[in-house]
Amino acid sequence: MAAAVVVSRSLRSLLIRRVMAPTHPGLSLSLRPMSSIAQDVASTAAPRDVPDHNYESLRVTAAQKHILHVQLNRPEKRNAMNKAFWREMVECFNKIAQDPDCRAVVISGAGKLFTAGIDLMDMASEMLQPQGDDVARTSWYLRSLISKYQETFSVIEKCPKPVIAAIHGACIGAGVDLITACDIRYCAQDAFFQVKEVDIGLAADVGTLQRLPKVIGNQSLVNELAFTCRKMMADEALGSGLVSRVFPDEVQMLDAAFTLAAEISTKSPVAVQSTKINLVYSRNHSVADGLNYAATWNMSMLQTQDIVKSVQAAVEKQELKNVTFSKL
C-alpha cells in the first residue's frame, strides 16, 4: 500500500513537471479535474445532416458528438454503386480526414441491404466502350479509370479516423472491396458476402484481391470465394475473421456500431489516429520497418498533452469521456 502511494505521488510529480513545461512561450496548463460536461459523447440528439456533405449517392449525418454516419443512400437501386458514388466517396472521406470534430465513422447501407455492388447499367458506357483511338490509348484510359476507382476505397484506408462498417443483407462485388478497406466490420445475421466479379467476366481490381487475404489470413478460402463467387454467410464471415461480431438484426448491429464509435471517440484523437496510421503501415511492411516507422512517428506524437490528460484521468479514476481533448 505504501509503495502504491509513493508511485502515485511520483507519477503526480511527473505529471506536474510535464504539464508545467509550456509547449509554446507563455503557455501552460494547470493540473485540475476536467469538466465532464465538455465531453458528452453519448449525445441523445437526433442525427442531423452535415451541411458541407451534400451528395447524390450518400447521406452523411452527425450521429453523435464526434461521430459521422455515412450511408450508401440509393435504397431504390439496392445501393448499387453508380458514377456519382465513385466520385463522391473520395470527396466525402477526404473531407472527413480533415474534419477536426470527427473522431470515428460508421458506414452502412440505407434500405434492405448494404449494397448490390456496381451499378452495371450506369457504368456500362465506361466499362464496355472505353475511350481511345487504338489499343495503347484505350489501355491508357482504362488504367487511369481503374486507378481512379481504386481510390474510392483506398481513401477510407487513408483516412486517419477509424471507420466501422455495419453490414446487413447483401454485400456483393464492390461492396467487399469497400468493407475490406474499413477498420472494423460488424454484420447482422441476415448478411452475406459475395466476391462477384468473375461472374461478370473480370477480375476484381479495386481492393478485394489485395485486402481480403490480409483480412482473413486464409488464402485457400479467398481463392475459393473469388473463383466460385459463392455466398459467405454471416456465421462463416465471423469464423473466418471477415467480421468481428454478428448481431440478430440491423437495429442491434447499428446500435452496437455507434456504441463502439462512441467509445473510440472518448480516447485521445492523437493516440487513436496515430494507432490507425501505424497499423495500416505495418500491415504491408516488415516488423523492423514498422518499428522504425513507429519510433519516427512517436518522436513527435509523444509530446502531446493528451498523454498528460489521459494519465491524470487514470490517476484520479476519471472516465475518459469526462476529459476534454483538443481537436485534431
Q: What residue ranges do the domains of the chain occupy?
A: 2-39+268-322, 48-265
Domains 2-39+268-322 and 48-265 share a fold: no
- Name all contacts of 36-44 with Cβ < 8 Å and 24+ positions apart: 36/321, 36/322, 38/324, 39/266, 39/320, 39/321, 39/322, 39/323, 39/324, 39/325, 40/65, 40/321, 41/65, 41/66, 41/67, 41/262, 41/265, 41/266, 41/321, 42/262, 42/321
**Best-predicted range by mean pLDDT (111-115, 127-131, 199-203, 319-323):** 111-115
User: What percent of the chain has a predicted confidence (pLDDT) above 90?
Assistant: 71
Q: Looking at residue 297, what is its pLDDT?
A: 94
User: What type of residue sits at position 107?
Assistant: I
- Structure confidence by residue, pLDDT tens digits, 18-67: 544 444 333 333 333 333 333 344 444 578 888 889 999 999 999 899 99
- Structure confidence by residue, pLDDT tens digits, 60-108: 999 899 999 999 999 999 999 999 999 999 999 999 999 999 999 999 9
Kindly give the residue spans of alpha helices, DSSP state H, lying in the chain: 2-20, 83-97, 120-128, 135-158, 174-180, 208-216, 219-228, 234-240, 250-265, 269-283, 287-301, 305-315
Q: Looking at residue 12, what is its pLDDT?
A: 55
What's the chain's average pLDDT? 87
Give the other-Cβ count within 10 Å of 287's Cβ: 8
Which residues 6+ apart lie within 8 Å of 149 measured at CB? 86, 205, 206
Choose the weakest-confidence range: 44-48, 164-168, 233-237, 256-260.
44-48
HSE, CB side, 13 Å, CA atoms: give it for residue 190. 11
Whether 6 shows a pLDDT value over 70: the answer reads no
Domain covering 2-39+268-322, topology = Lyase 2-enoyl-coa Hydratase; Chain  A, domain 2 (1.10.12)
Q: How far apart are CA 231 and CA 193, in angstroms?
A: 6
Task: Tell me which architecture the domain covering 48-265 has in CATH.
Answer: Alpha-Beta Complex (3.90)
Local structure of residue 303 (DSSP, 8 states): T
Query: 235: helix, coil or strand?
Result: helix
Paired with 48 in beta bridges are 62
Q: Band the pLDDT of 295: cuts 50, 70, 90.
A: very high
Whether 115 shows a pLDDT value over 60: the answer reads yes
